């Protein structure tokens, strides 16, 4: 019986078979248990001898069962691990990942540069009123300077626009032709000193070509405070050029006319790799008439004048033109042409 039982245990193929064997030999009605019971009817001497033999057998079977059980469990675990094995050296499945648009990248870079200089970034509405886009910036109707900004006018019922403090705005509406109207909105609602930049989308009714779009982006800057001068403006643009084009870059200012600044300038940068002067945008000292328009508007809202003594500088630059240089894009129309092949090249930039 011992030989038979031990062999059966050793050959049991799974835990279920082992359990059956255990029941057969050691269970309540198992062979060994029956034999133990039968001892009672034997004469003393034989009972002792047989009893010892049966006990030894029981121990041997229990030990064999335990060993086989452990071996089977280990084998089962090994198989389970084998099935679920993960090869960490296999190439991963590529996830679809979007990227930021090159103009967003350029805009963020610009805003980051000015943030580091203590500027706050604010945004204004794309639908603007004639007042904020033109009149308050000293560009009255019929003034020839309006021709600088070919305008998309909006008409229709139900268009409502709010002013800097949430008040209703009267007058003709348009798509803003530059980010400068936000100068006026911000000044109405705040008192100096402050430093802001205004990134945003602007619209012009004009033909497109390699360097002109009808919809493009600008970054406006406005700094107002005591003693702010043209030197501060040059310093700001100098810092911008250094950050964008490195320590060897240079900036150049040339006098020009914008109705909302006096004096007005256009500025350009030069850097070794570029090798030529690049026009970046317009700038100047905020015109007293702009401050006057702001205080007049504040008065209408019941606010005290805040810009009687103010001086400040402002600038505005084209984001696409800068991005063309930064990323070597030969035609401005690529940016919003909607071709993935173009956009995918900017994945991971930043």
Give the residue at shortest CB distance from ligand YSA. Answer: 318
**What three-state secondary structure class fits 286?**
strand
* Max Cα-Cα span within the chain: 135
Assess contact for 331 and 210: CB atoms under 8 A: yes
Nearer to ligand YSA, 46 or 153 (CB): 153
- Of the candidates 261, 269, 293, 329, the residue annotated as catalytic is 261
Report the site for ligand YSA in 254-293 (rule: CB under 6 A): 258, 260-261, 279, 281-284
203 forms part of the interface with ligand YSA (CB under 6 A): no
Distances (CA, A) of 200 to 1, 169, 181, 196, 216: 93, 21, 11, 13, 8
According to DSSP, the β-strands at 261-270 and 250-256 are antiparallel
Taking the alpha carbons at both ends of the chain, their separation in whole angstroms is 79
Nearest CA to 192 out of 314, 285, 311, 301 is that of: 311
- Of the candidates 184, 283, 293, 314, the residue annotated as catalytic is 314
151 forms part of the interface with ligand YSA (CB under 6 A): no
228 forms part of the interface with ligand YSA (CB under 6 A): no
314 forms part of the interface with ligand YSA (CB under 6 A): yes
Report the site for ligand YSA in 1-40 (rule: CB under 6 A): none
The verdict on whether 314 is a catalytic residue reads yes
Nearer to ligand YSA, 21 or 285 (CB): 285
Report the site for ligand YSA in 163-202 (rule: CB under 6 A): 178, 180
Assess contact for 301 and 167: CB atoms under 8 A: yes
The verdict on whether 178 is a catalytic residue reads yes
Assess contact for 192 and 225: CB atoms under 8 A: yes
204 forms part of the interface with ligand YSA (CB under 6 A): yes
146 forms part of the interface with ligand YSA (CB under 6 A): no
The residue whose two tokens read 């005290």 is: 304
Nearer to ligand YSA, 17 or 215 (CB): 215
> Could you list the residues that contact ligand YSA (CB under 6 A)?
148, 178, 180, 204, 206, 212-213, 216, 218, 220, 258, 260-261, 279, 281-284, 314-318, 320-321, 332
């Amino acid at each position: 019986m011992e030989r038979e039982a031990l062999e059966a245990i050793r050959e049991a193929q799974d835990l279920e078979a082992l359990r059956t064997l255990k029941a057969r030999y050691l269970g309540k009605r198992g062979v060994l248990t029956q034999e133990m019971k039968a001892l009672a009817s034997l004469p003393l001497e034989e009972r002792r001898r047989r009893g010892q033999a049966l006990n030894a057998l029981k121990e041997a079977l229990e030990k064999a069962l335990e060993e086989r059980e452990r071996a089977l469990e280990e084998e089962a675990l090994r198989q389970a691990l084998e099935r679920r094995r993960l090869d960490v050296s296999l190439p991963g499945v590529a996830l679809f990942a979007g990227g930021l648009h090159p103009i967003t990248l350029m805009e963020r870079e610009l805003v980051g540069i000015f943030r580091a200089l203590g500027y706050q970034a604010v945004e204004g509405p794309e639908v603007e009123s004639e007042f904020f886009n033109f009149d308050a910036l000293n560009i009255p109707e019929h003034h020839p300077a309006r021709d600088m900004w070919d305008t998309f006018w909006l008409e229709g019922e139900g268009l409502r626009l709010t002013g800097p403090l949430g008040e209703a705005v009267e007058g003709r509406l348009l798509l803003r032709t530059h980010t400068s109207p936000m100068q006026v909105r911000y000044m109405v609602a705040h008192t100096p000193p402050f430093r802001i930049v205004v990134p945003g989308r602007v619209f012009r009714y004009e033909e497109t070509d390699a360097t002109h779009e009808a919809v493009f982006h600008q970054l406006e800057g406005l700094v107002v405070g005591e003693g702010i001068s043209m030197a501060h403006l040059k310093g700001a643009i100098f810092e911008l050029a250094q950050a964008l084009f490195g320590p060897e870059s240079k900036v150049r200012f040339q006098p020009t006319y914008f109705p909302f600044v006096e004096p007005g300038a256009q500025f350009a940068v030069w850097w070794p790799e570029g090798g030529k002067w690049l026009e970046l945008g317009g700038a100047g000292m905020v015109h007293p008439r702009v401050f006057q328009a702001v205080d007049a508007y504040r008065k209408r809202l019941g606010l005290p004048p805040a810009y009687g003594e103010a001086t400040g500088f402002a600038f505005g630059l084209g984001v696409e033109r800068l991005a063309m240089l930064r990323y070597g894009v030969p035609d401005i129309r690529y940016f919003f042409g909607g071709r993935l092949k173009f956009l995918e090249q900017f994945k991971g930039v930043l």
